[in-house]
Every structure is written in structure tokens, then in C-alpha cells.
Structure 1
Amino acid sequence: MPEIGEIARVVHYIRKHLVGRTIKTCQAFEDDIVYGKVGCSATAFAKATEGRRVTGAAQQGKYFWVTFDKPPHAVMHLGMTGWVKFNVEDTAYYKQAKEEEGKEQEWPPRFMKFMWKCAAEKVDGVDKEVVEAAFVDGRRLGRIRLVDCEADKIRQASPLKENGPDPVQDKDIVTVEWLKALMQRKKVPIKALLLDQANLSGVGNWVADEVLYQARVHPEQYCNTFGDEQIKTLHDALIGVCTLAVETLADSKQFPADWIMKYRWDKGKKDANVLPNGEKIVHLKVGGRTSAIVPSRQKKTGAVAADVEDEDADDALEEPAKGKKRKSKVEEDESEAEKPAKKGRGRKSTETNGVKEEEPDEETPAKKGRSAKATPTKAEKPATPGSRRSARTRT
């Protein structure tokens, strides 16, 4: 799903194609989840943004916003497969099939939640062409809202104020000392700490795995069991990975050749999940989340969470325990909107709007050949070792 680097990519294209432009029309489509879950509506969004001049765009972790010449401003979250598309340029950061290279994107795109249209105009003395921008979200895990405050106060308003600092935008806050204090006052697996958006903004599954791999840290070791040197190494990896992801706009072709991110996706395939140096990548599942890990590099140096499962030892995913409640988070857990869709469970990974979608960790494989239970007409006494059963009943 879009993480800190992918959101930087969205912000880049918004600045490139929309900043300084006036939104002539906004065609918005009602969605009681994408808008409704955060107290907005397509009608209100269209009314508030139509006719407004775009003055800027920025991000905090997985959130991004577009500011206008007057409030309210648009604050958005892409969820699991959302994206912002432009008719003048293909902005996708991933294409699943080679044959898609060079293929023109469909327009208007499917799964639109709104489309902004800017007419041809002069901006700072430069002629600008007609441009259309569409927010798309096939799985409806994204969120679109309006925030009524001054543009420079957005991060002090909800939902951003409830989220932790951004490791790239807020390097003056995310220091070694800050990270140490955070880790020592909690007792959770280190990966869980990194993924919690209330602690840090923007770190998702692949970024967390890359950080832990670079720091030689086991994902399930409790965060309060690390020494000062390990914390410093972890901090350096966190800042380094997030910064490069943002600077390259999530273009994996520009990532270092030894990053685990480039080799982690082919789980279960023959001759896959091996780094160039021959080290093997395995997958651990904890609490419904999958971690890619290199055991020869990521050693346990302290207490480790007890519920670790080795997915490579048993590829069959287990069904969640009945009656087990999910841990609720602030406002429909949009900060980590990585839950699988309720429909279509057990299907293989797909691609939506040109964005690769991993098979959700919580999915349960479809059970083949399920039928009504047969009731035996006669109980049969189990055979004892060494005995034989006759085909006929002896009298």
C-alpha cells in the first residue's frame, strides 16, 4: 500500500500539475465510507473545492493535503490501493505486467471518488494546458475530508495531530534520544511500534521490514530490550530508509541493490526470496501481519513475542480465533488502513489502478470441496493393531 515514499510521489505530482491552478469544476461521487466515515460528503467536497485556486500540497506520513486560497482545505489518505491520477501524465509507481509499459492509461479512470478539472490558463506568465486530476480507490479504504483552518495550522488539527512525527519532515523531533524514550516506555514487538501511526507517521509494512533488515533487528523482539548501540543503528536505518524512499518518490529502480524490498515479493515461488549474496528471506506472521526477514542477519538479542508463526514452514494461513476482537484505533484505523476487504477472501493478489496489491495477511484460503457433513448410518468399531476387517458381518 502507499507509504511515506509513495505519498511523497503523489505530493510531487500535485505540486507539478495543480499548484497555482484554479479548479474550474469538481465532479465528486457520493461514498458513505470514503467521505462519510470522516464526516464529509461528495456534495460538500465539490462545493468547497470548485472555483478555488490551489496554493500548495504537503504530507505527514501517509496523509497528504491540498491547500486553497481560503479554507477549508482537502486532507486525504489513500488507504490500501488509492491513488491520484492525472490525464496528462501516468504517475503510477508500479506496473504489474511488462506488457503494460507504454500502454496508455484509461481516462476517465475507474473507481473515481472525485475529479478536479483545471482549464487552460496562464500561471506566472506560463501557458498551462487543461488538466484533470482524479482520486481513485477501488477498495474504499481511503479517506477524503475537509479541514476548516488556516493552511499553516493543518498539522495542528485532526486527524494529523493524533499521529506521530514524520521521520523525514520532522527529523529535529525524531532523534536517537526521542526513539530511545519511546522504545523504553512501551513493551511491544519493535515492528508493531514502528507501524503504529500514533508513534510514527508514514512507516508501513515494507518500510518497517527494510528498516529492521538494515538495522539487523528481529521484528518480534520487544522494543524495550535494546541497548543504546542497537537503538542508534535502528534510528539511522529508520531515517535513511524513509529519506531515500521520499527522495526517489518510491521508485524502486533507484533503491540500493542490497535492499530486501527488491526481493521480498515473490513469497512461495521457486528460486525466489533469496538475496544476491545467497541469504534466504523467510516470512513470519504475527497477529495477522507478515514480516520479511533474513534470519542469518536479523538475530534475536532479547525477549521475543511468543506468537510468532513461521509462514515458510506452513504456507496455509490459519483462520483467526472465533470471538477474538480486533484492537480498535482512532477513527476507523485509517492511519493503517491495511485491512482486507470483506468480500473475495481467499483470492490471489491483484492490481488496482496500476498499483500492486499484496495478498492481505488476514485472508483465509477458500476451502475446497466443502459439503454437508455425512452422518454415518452405523458406528464402526475401530480396528485393533494386527486385526482385519471382513467385508461381510460375521454371525
Structure 2
Amino acid sequence: MPEIGEVARVVHFLRKHLVGRTIRECQAFNDDIVYGKVGCSSSAFQQHVEGRKVTGAAQQGKYFYVTFDKAPHAVMHLGMTGWVEFDSESTYYYKQAKETPAKAQDWPPKYAKFLLKCDAEMDGDKRDKVEVAFVDARRLARIRLVDCHAESIRDQTPLKENGPDPVRDRDEVTVKWLSKLLKRKKVPVKALLLDQGNISGVGNWVADEVLFQARIHPEQYSNTFDEEEIERLHHALTDVTSIAVSTLGDSTKFPENWIMKYRWDKGKKNANVLPNGEKIVHLKVGGRTSAIVPSVQKKTAAVAGDVDSADLSDKEQKQPVKGKKRKTFKDEDEPDMLEVETPAKKGKRRDPKSESMRLKKEAEEKPATPISRRSSRRVSK
């Protein structure tokens, strides 16, 4: 899913190609999910956007918005696979076939939800005409109109329900603010970071990177950290999100010591290893896969989670019984590892001699109790 850095990339290209221009034509393609799930419609979007001059583009976490010279304004979310494409320039942040100029491909692109067309600018603005498309194959993106003054758009739904943006609202996201947030909840710290109502823009890979850089285990309860750990977490949150935004989500520009560069080859031989030899393993915390380095991300207090990983070492984590969550410890002095009895495998046969002796002994102790036919057959054997 596009996260804070990738959304910053979309905003960058919107500012480059769209802000300051008038939308000559808007084609919005009917989709009762992408538009309808948030109370909008393609016809309403087309009606209100066509002919409007674009005055700005910005983001709050995973949301981004485009403001016009007249309300309503457009607020969008990319979902899992949504993106904004331009006919004159590739905007993707990872290497793939679509890195070739968009105009060399079929246009408009497949799965487009709307298409904006702007003429070449005159009066000193030498930008060529441009076409902009919002695409989403899985239909998890959201497009809506918000009727308000452009300056107050962050005070409206859905932005007002989301937490502060750690880059844009850096003055608000302080160590003190983070400490209060952590201490008033009792959830795995990764779950807290992923909750957009707490902090905007942090998704799965960003949360994993923040926790790795802070040397914090993702399962540890949010209210168990001391001040030094909170300061490390705050520093990592600020650093990771700032770099993600400043590089526009381009992973080739990320620091070499980031786990993000080495985490994607899950299950492949000789993969998931940092340059220094430390192993990356994958856990499932709250239903989400987490990449961690157990040698540095230690559990220092009570933890919670449903770890589901075959590649954890016995030293770091015992394999839990399938379908059951590990117990958690309230006492910080208790060990952070729980021995779990492994159930017998299905189809495992018992020793026939011991079974026969057990049944014979039971028969001698309780002679009045008839032995079942099945048991009799085992004894006779």
C-alpha cells in the first residue's frame, strides 16, 4: 500500500503538472465503490471538477487532496494499488515496465477512475498540455468531494478523524505527545503506529522500519516503554518518515542500513539478511506481517501478539500452538519466552506393546467392566 513517502510523490507530480492550471475536461468513470463508498459519484465529481482552476495539492499521511478556485475540493486515498499517472512522465517509485514514458503506452490507462485534461499554458507558463489519470485495479481507492473553504479542508471528514502527519505536523508530534499516546493505550506498539487515528501515513513497511531503527520489538505493549525507549522511537519515527517524504518514496535513495532494502525476499534461500549478517525474520502481529531483526529488537517488557513464523530460532521465540495466542506476562520480571507443549502429530501410531499392556492392566483392575471389541482386538494382537 502506498504510504507517506509514496503519497508525497503523488503530490509532488500534481504540483508540477497540475497546480495553477485550468481543467479543460474531466471524464469520471462510474464506480459505485471508489466513489460511492464515500458518498460521492462519478457524475458529481465530473460536474464539479471540470472547468475549475487547480490552486493547490497537499497531503495528510496517506490522504492527499487537490483544491480548486471554488469549492468543493477533491480528497483522495490510493488504497492498496491506486496511483496517479501522467501522459507525459512516468511517476512510479519502483522499477517496472511502467517506467517507460506513459505516452508510449496505451492511453488512457486501464482501470482509470477519472481523466483530467489541461491545455498548454500561455502567458509565460511554458508547460505543455497534460492529461492526468487516477487508476486503481483493485477498487480500494477512495475519491470524494469536500464542500468547504480550502484553508479548512483538514478540519473536515475524513482528514479530521486522522492523527497528525509526523512530517507536516512535526511541531505537534513531539516526544511528550508520543509518550502520552503510548501510555494511554495497551496495544502492541506496531498496532498503535498503524492506526491512522493515532498517526497519519505510517503503513506496514514504515512501521517496521521505525521499530527496527528504534531497536523495539513490534509486539511489546505500548504502555510498557521507559522514557529512553520513547525518545528512540520518536527519533526513528521522525527520521524515517522525513526521509521517506524527502526522497518521494524512492527506495533507491534510502539509507543502506534500512531494513526496507533487504526485507522483501521472504522464504528465499540466503535472503532476508542484512549486510552485517544479521537475520531478518517475519512475524504476524495483529494479522499483519512484520519484518524484524531479533538480534537487536529485544522484548523488554510484556508483549502481545499472534506470532506465526517458522523461521524464528528457539532462542528468540518458541513456536506457539496453532490457533492459540501466546500468553502475556504482567510482571516485567517474568521471562519473555513461554514454553508451549507441542501437540501430538495427527496419525502418529502408539507403541503396540505398551498399548497392549495398558489395556491388559485396565482389564485386571476392573474385571467387571467389559472391554470394547476394538480394545479386545488390540489385546489379542
**TM-score normalised by the chain length of structure 1:** 0.78
- In the TM superposition, structure 1's runs of 4+ consecutive aligned residues that sit over 3 Å from their partners are 100-106
Give the match for residue 95 of structure 2.
95
- For residues 19-34 of structure 1, the aligned pairs below 5 Å read 19-34=19-34
d(CA) in 1 for partners of 2:310, 2:63: 31
Give the counterpart letter for 2:149 in structure 1.
E
Deviation at 1:127, TM superposition (A): 2.4
1:385 paired with 2:374, answer no
Secondary structure of the structure 1 residue equivalent to 2:115: strand
Give the match for residue 142 of structure 2.
143
Give the match for residue 177 of structure 1.
176
Deviation at 1:296, TM superposition (A): 0.4
Deviation at 1:107, TM superposition (A): 1.9
Secondary structure of the structure 2 residue equivalent to 1:194: helix
8 Å Cα contact 1:71/1:147 also seen in 2: yes
**1:199–1:301 distance in 2 versus 1, CA, 3 Å:** same
The CA deviation string for residues 86-117 of structure 1, in whole angstroms up to 9 with x for no partner, is 000000111247xx654744321110000000
**1:210–1:306 distance in 2 versus 1, CA, 3 Å:** closer
d(CA) in 1 for partners of 2:82, 2:105: 16
**1:82–1:383 distance in 2 versus 1, CA, 3 Å:** closer
d(CA) in 2 for partners of 1:311, 1:265: 17
Give the counterpart letter for 1:38 in structure 2.
V
- For residues 171-210 of structure 1, the aligned pairs below 5 Å read 171-210=170-209
d(CA) in 1 for partners of 2:312, 2:96: 28
Give the match for residue 86 of structure 1.
86
Which range moves more in the overlay, 126-135 or 164-173? 126-135
8 Å Cα contact 1:285/1:311 also seen in 2: no
8 Å Cα contact 1:90/1:105 also seen in 2: no
What stretches of structure 1 of length at least 5 have no aligned partner? 315-319, 322-381, 388-395
| Number of residue pairs aligned between Structure 1 and Structure 2 | 320
Deviation at 1:309, TM superposition (A): 2.3
**1:69–1:210 distance in 2 versus 1, CA, 3 Å:** same
Deviation at 1:310, TM superposition (A): 2.0
**TM-score normalised by the chain length of structure 2:** 0.81
d(CA) in 2 for partners of 1:20, 1:96: 31
8 Å Cα contact 1:61/1:202 also seen in 2: yes
Secondary structure of the structure 2 residue equivalent to 1:145: strand
Give the counterpart letter for 1:10 in structure 2.
V
d(CA) in 2 for partners of 1:105, 1:68: 30
d(CA) in 2 for partners of 1:264, 1:383: 43
Deviation at 1:312, TM superposition (A): 2.8
8 Å Cα contact 2:191/2:286 also seen in 1: no
8 Å Cα contact 2:19/2:55 also seen in 1: yes
- Greater RCO, CA 8 A, separation 6+: 1
CA RMSD of aligned residues (A): 2.0
What stretches of structure 2 of length at least 5 have no aligned partner? 314-321, 324-348, 356-381
**1:161–1:306 distance in 2 versus 1, CA, 3 Å:** closer
d(CA) in 2 for partners of 1:51, 1:20: 13
8 Å Cα contact 2:19/2:56 also seen in 1: yes
Which range moves more in the overlay, 125-134 or 196-205? 125-134
d(CA) in 2 for partners of 1:136, 1:185: 39
Percent identity between the two aligned chains:
71
The CA deviation string for residues 108-140 of structure 1, in whole angstroms up to 9 with x for no partner, is 111000000001221x51222110000000000
Deviation at 1:271, TM superposition (A): 1.0
d(CA) in 1 for partners of 2:350, 2:278: 49
Give the match for residue 43 of structure 2.
43
Give the match for residue 371 of structure 2.
none
Bigger proportion of residues as helix:
2
Give the match for residue 292 of structure 2.
293
